[in-house]
């Protein structure tokens, strides 16, 4: 169902500027929107990014990880979702020739490089990995949740006159998780919390999904109270979101991932089909409520292409 709605609401011509992370980051850069600094691009066809190193071969990448990269860093596929193959590294152990991961585990450099293979998708430009600076959490978040940065999933209905924040969720990594991804069945231990859209305050928090879902009042590791926690710089987050949303007028349904970092809100990415499952789990209400249906009816009443059909 979510794919159907994304197809109806989001113009297909805009897909490349949202699914290709390097293109998206280039747009963020041009608009002055904050995003994690890109250190290097590992891509067999030589794709570039301003200020970043381009690496084509495995041996080049191995040398860079041993001698050249700035720690800590975060690596992820240039295409992909769900946090797949994403890894955070904090140091290099020259004695054992291993990378020290953010969750305390280690990985041999050669093994790590082998897992960073230039993924080949449908098109050749979909191959490659991105190496970025590791974003640090805001001090308030680090005290409450730990050292991994929490990320917000902000779902926006992009109206003509004024974009509307439809769902606001906070994803809090726990345990050995190195991303804030909740996973298809909540298996990664990430806490998901519903935020009040006006204030940015946590009003509900949980781990897992039924039948293993557990409601939380306090963080299970730090003991900090979750309910009532205020997202730092919430008004700044909303201002950034409004500016970012308006840069993509052809995308009517937008799912933004924004970090709550020590330098303020930082954009991880925007998705055109971010899934209905996470917002429904976090808020315990269906995605296609009266507000969402009214949005579709509003667009369909003004623009025939948004009416229910196979065309988009």
Closest CA to 39 of 58, 64, 16, 66: 64
Domain limit, last residue, from 116, 133, 150: 133
Q: What is the pLDDT of residues 126-152, one digit of tens each?
A: 778 999 999 999 999 999 999 999 999
Q: Does 19 reside within a domain? A: yes
Phi-psi region of 114 (alpha: psi -120 to 50; beta: other; left: phi over 0): alpha
Query: Do the domain assignments include residue 248?
Result: yes
Q: Does 176 lie in the same domain as 219?
A: yes
**Residue 97, preceding peptide bond in cis (omega within 30° of 0):** no
Do residues 205 and 191 both lie within one domain? yes
246 within domain boundaries: yes
- CB under 8 A, 24+ apart: contacts of 217-221: 219/144, 219/145, 219/146, 219/172, 219/174, 219/191, 220/174, 220/191, 221/146, 221/174, 221/175
DSSP annotation of 162 reads -
pLDDT of res. 265? 97
Both 146 and 229 in one domain: the answer is yes
Q: Output the tens digit of pLDDT for each of the chain's 312 residues.
A: 677 788 788 888 888 788 889 999 999 999 999 999 999 999 888 899 999 999 999 999 999 999 999 999 999 888 765 556 788 999 999 999 999 998 889 999 999 998 887 555 556 667 789 999 999 999 999 999 999 999 999 999 999 878 999 999 999 998 766 555 555 444 457 899 999 999 999 999 999 887 888 999 999 999 999 999 999 999 999 999 999 999 999 999 999 999 999 999 999 999 887 788 899 999 999 999 999 999 999 998 888 878 765 443
Residues 258, 237 contacting (CB under 8 angstroms): yes
Domain range for residue 145? 2-34+136-306
Shared domain check, 67 and 29: no
The answer to whether residue 312 sits within a structural domain is no
Residue 7's CATH number: 3.30.470.20
DSSP state of 310: S
In a domain? residue 60: yes
Instruction: Say yes or no: 160 and 180 in one domain.
Output: yes
Domain count, the chain: 2
46 and 6 part of one domain: no
> Is 311 among the domain residues?
no
Enumerate the H helices of 212-266 as residue ranges. Answer: 234-246
Q: Residues 300, 187: one domain?
A: yes
pLDDT tens per residue across span 6-52 = 878 888 888 878 888 999 999 999 999 999 999 999 988 889 999 99
Q: Is residue 102 part of a domain?
A: yes
- Regarding whether 96 and 68 lie in a shared domain, the answer is yes
Q: Are 149 and 245 members of one domain?
A: yes
Domain end position, chosen among 101, 133, 165 = 133
Domain boundary among 91, 113, 133: 133
How far apart, in whole angstroms, are the C-alpha atoms of residue 98 and residue 91? 9
Q: Are residues 120 and 261 in the same domain?
A: no
Residue 76 is assigned to a structural domain of this protein: yes
Say whether both 15 and 160 belong to one domain. yes
CA angle 246, 248, 272 (to 5 degrees): 125
Please check whether residues 23 and 169 belong to one and the same domain: yes
């Amino acid at each position: 169902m979510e794919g159907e709605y994304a197809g109806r609401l989001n113009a297909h011509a805009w897909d490349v500027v949202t699914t290709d992370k390097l293109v998206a980051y280039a747009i963020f850069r041009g608009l002055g929107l904050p995003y994690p600094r890109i250190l290097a691009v590992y891509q067999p066809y030589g794709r570039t990014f301003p200020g970043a190193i381009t690496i084509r071969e495995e041996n080049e990448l191995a040398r860079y990880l041993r001698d050249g990269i700035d720690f800590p860093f975060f690596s992820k596929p240039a295409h992909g979702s769900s946090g797949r193959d994403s890894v955070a590294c904090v140091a290099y152990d020259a004695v054992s020739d291993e990378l020290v991961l953010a969750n305390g585990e280690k990985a041999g450099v050669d093994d790590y490089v082998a897992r960073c293979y230039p993924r080949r998708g449908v098109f050749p430009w979909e191959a490659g990995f991105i190496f970025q600076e590791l974003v640090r959490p805001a001090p308030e978040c680090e005290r409450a949740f730990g050292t991994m940065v929490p990320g917000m999933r902000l779902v926006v209905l992009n109206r003509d006159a004024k974009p509307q924040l439809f769902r606001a969720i906070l994803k809090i990594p726990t345990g050995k998780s190195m991303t804030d991804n909740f996973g298809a069945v909540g298996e990664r231990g990430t806490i998901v919390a519903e935020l009040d859209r006006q204030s940015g305050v946590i009003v509900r928090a949980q781990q897992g999904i039924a039948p293993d879902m557990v409601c939380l009042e306090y963080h299970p590791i730090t003991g900090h109270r979750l309910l009532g926690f205020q997202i730092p710089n919430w008004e700044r987050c909303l201002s950034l979101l409004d500016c970012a949303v308006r840069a993509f007028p052809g995308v009517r349904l937008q799912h933004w991932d924004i970090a709550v970092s020590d330098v303020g809100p930082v954009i991880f990415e925007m998705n055109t089909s971010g899934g209905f499952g996470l917002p429904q789990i976090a808020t315990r209400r269906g995605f296609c409520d009266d507000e969402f249906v009214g949005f579709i009816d509003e667009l369909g009443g003004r623009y025939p292409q948004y009416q229910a059909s196979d065309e988009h």
